[in-house]
Amino acid sequence: MSPSAAFLKYARQNTPRYTSYPTAPHFHEGVDARVVSRWLTDLRPDARGSLYLHIPYCREMCWYCGCSTRATRRDGPVATYTELLLEEIGLYAERLAARPRIDHVHFGGGTPTILSGVQFSAIMARLRAVFEISGTAEIAVEVDPRLFSAGKARELAAAGVNRASLGVQTLDPAVQKKINRIQPAQSVANCVRDLRDAGIDHVSFDLLYGLPGQTIQSCLDTVRQALAFEPDRLSIFGYAHVPHLKRHQRLIRDEDLPDTEARIEQALAMNRAAREAGYVPVGIDHYAGPDDDMAKMAATGTLHRNFQGYTTDRAEYLLGLGASAITRTPSGYAQNTPDVVQWSRAIMSEQLATVRGIALGPEDRLRGEIIERLMCDLRVDISALSARIPDTIPMPSMDDLLEDGIVHREGNQLTLLEENRMLARVVAARFDAYAPSNGTARHSPSV
Ligand code: SF4
């Protein structure tokens, strides 16, 4: 079934992905290491936290990459970075009032599996020395199947890793060539086998649509092959082509990119395939088995969203460690410099590497909660949230979305119709006090 004209109209609008509110482009230099240190000291001693560790190195650049990373063939930079990361863990721990309890640890990148077993174990040992990592904590690692082996899987398992997120993206060899990521399906199969043999049973896959040379058929072939591996979660993201921000994306030829309508049809086809295979849609772009925690939390309105996308993490704060990583506390967001040299200098001077962020006021918190509920539940009861948060905001204009049948409104309750779940970003943007209501070229299309 083709998308309606109204769906297409909104799907084309450029909107933020809302992994935070306010979104990162609105962070400013007024939030520095001194401000963050105060925010950390202000945390309740019994508050639950989570950790994100960024590893900004890959062996080579994939041309579609939107991450903060750089290519290196040498092991030296990774070793130096690891040493400084160990120091940075201590700097954060010193600023916290107590030995905090941590329920989630996520290693992202870049390519965390570029770390040697010794380096990874050293980081986990340091984390366990200064934080109370709970026995049931989720310890997740983003995995590049091309840099993996049975030995690597055993090392990760021995260090406590219990979830792996595989960058699969596309299994079409012709598309892989156009994005400089040659990754035979067999390497994904071997990686999944090695992880499961090592006892890492929770495996998620990331797939993309909108890549150069992709067609509906190649997207469907990829999603069906991927589903045959029975991942417990699947995310299906649209490729964001922003060559003005990511220079290496200039290696992708514009004429190879599917047009907006083709992109949307690819997204819808992949969505249908995942649902037909029994996966439950979660938010705008995730899918999970019906018994998975993420699907259960989505069904009960308790799911959350952070910089990694949807998460079962309920922690009150997130410490972002490493270059470019973002810390979130109830007081605000704070981002480390993405420049590894600048980050290294800060850590060597025993300073946090914060260069920007934003403090949250009551209105930001309310708008942030509304946007998070819309992105997670596809519905929001603004009166219920306003009663809990001591501030209120006027309902933004929704007339066009109501007339076009995208949302349903009853009093102060808004609900996206099921067939429009992928448009949650468009509805969320109406509550964004920082963004123009008609979107900007700075962001990618909503679908
Ligand atoms: S492996 Fe991942 S992080 Fe590294 S260049 Fe490729 S897409 Fe980017």
- Could you tell me the distance, in angstroms and rounded to a whole number, from the CA of residue 80 to the centre of ligand 1? 20
pLDDT at 208: 97
Atom from ligand 1 closest to the CA of residue 69 = 3
Series of mean pLDDT values for 10-residue runs along the chain (447 residues): 84 91 95 97 93 97 95 96 98 90 96 97 98 95 95 97 97 97 96 98 97 97 96 95 92 94 94 96 95 93 92 94 98 98 98 98 93 95 74 82 93 89 94 72 73
- Tell me which residue has its CA closest to atom 5 in ligand 1: 61
Neighbours of 403 (CB within 10 A): 9
pLDDT at 265: 93
User: Hey, where are the domains in the chain?
Assistant: 1-25+361-447, 26-321
What DSSP designation does 171 have? -
Helix, strand and coil percent figures for the chain, each rounded to 5: 40, 20, 35
Q: Which helix (H) or strand (E) holds 415?
A: strand 413-416
- How far is Cα 65 from Cα 103, in angstroms, rounded to an integer? 29
Is 26-321 CATH 3.30.750.200?
Answer: yes
Among positive and negative, which fits the CA dihedral 410, 366, 418, 3? positive
Under a CB-based contact definition with an 8 Å cutoff, are residues 82 and 76 in contact?
A: no
Mutate-to-test residue for ligand 1 from 55, 114, 144, 175, highest number of ligand atoms within 8 A of CB: 144
Tokens of 167: 């960058």
Residue 282 CA to its chain's centroid (Å): 14
- How far is Cα 95 from Cα 317, in angstroms, rounded to an integer? 14
Query: 7-31 burial string, b = 16+ CB within 10 Å, else e?
Result: beebbbbbbbbbbbbbbbebbeeeb
- How far is Cα 276 from Cα 134, in angstroms, rounded to an integer? 36
**CA 140-143-144 angle, 5° bins:** 170
- How far is Cα 288 from Cα 231, in angstroms, rounded to an integer? 8
How far lies 122's CA from each of 9, 20, 58, 142, 350, in Å?
Answer: 51, 31, 20, 18, 20
Under a CB-based contact definition with an 8 Å cutoff, are residues 282 and 288 in contact?
A: yes
Mutate-to-test residue for ligand 1 from 55, 65, 73, 251, highest number of ligand atoms within 8 A of CB: 65
- How far is Cα 395 from Cα 427, in angstroms, rounded to an integer? 12
CB burial of residue 238 (10 Å; 0-12, 13-18, 19+):
buried
- Tell me which residue has its CA closest to atom 7 in ligand 1: 65
Is the previous residue joined to 405 through a cis bond, with omega within 30 degrees of 0?
Answer: no
User: At 281, is the secondary structure helix, strand, or coil?
Assistant: strand
pLDDT at 87: 98
Is the previous residue joined to 22 through a cis bond, with omega within 30 degrees of 0?
Answer: yes
Atom from ligand 1 closest to the CA of residue 144 = 1
User: At 28, is the secondary structure helix, strand, or coil?
Assistant: strand
- Tell me which residue has its CA closest to atom 3 in ligand 1: 110
Q: Residue 306: what are its φ and ψ, rounded to 5°?
A: -140, -165
Give the strand pairing for 48-55 and 317-321.
Answer: parallel
Atom from ligand 1 closest to the CA of residue 167 = 2
Q: Residue 353: what are its φ and ψ, rounded to 5°?
A: -95, 25
Q: Residue 320: what are its φ and ψ, rounded to 5°?
A: -100, 115
Under a CB-based contact definition with an 8 Å cutoff, are residues 180 and 224 in contact?
A: no
pLDDT at 24: 93
Tell me which amino acid residue 56 is: P
- Tell me which residue has its CA closest to atom 6 in ligand 1: 62
- Could you tell me the distance, in angstroms and rounded to a whole number, from the CA of residue 83 to the centre of ligand 1? 22
Mutate-to-test residue for ligand 1 from 72, 111, 178, highest number of ligand atoms within 8 A of CB: 111
User: At 310, is the secondary structure helix, strand, or coil?
Assistant: strand
Atom from ligand 1 closest to the CA of residue 71 = 5
pLDDT at 292: 94
Angle, helices 185-197 vs 150-158, to 10°: value is 40
CB burial of residue 354 (10 Å; 0-12, 13-18, 19+):
buried
- Tell me which residue has its CA closest to atom 2 in ligand 1: 110
Give the strand pairing for 48-55 and 57-58.
Answer: unpaired
User: At 193, is the secondary structure helix, strand, or coil?
Assistant: helix
| 1-25+361-447 topology per CATH | Arc Repressor Mutant, subunit A (1.10.10)
Under a CB-based contact definition with an 8 Å cutoff, are residues 185 and 214 in contact?
A: no
pLDDT at 304: 94
Atom from ligand 1 closest to the CA of residue 60 = 5
| Ligand 1 site, CB within 6 A | 58, 61-62, 65, 67, 69, 109-111, 144, 167
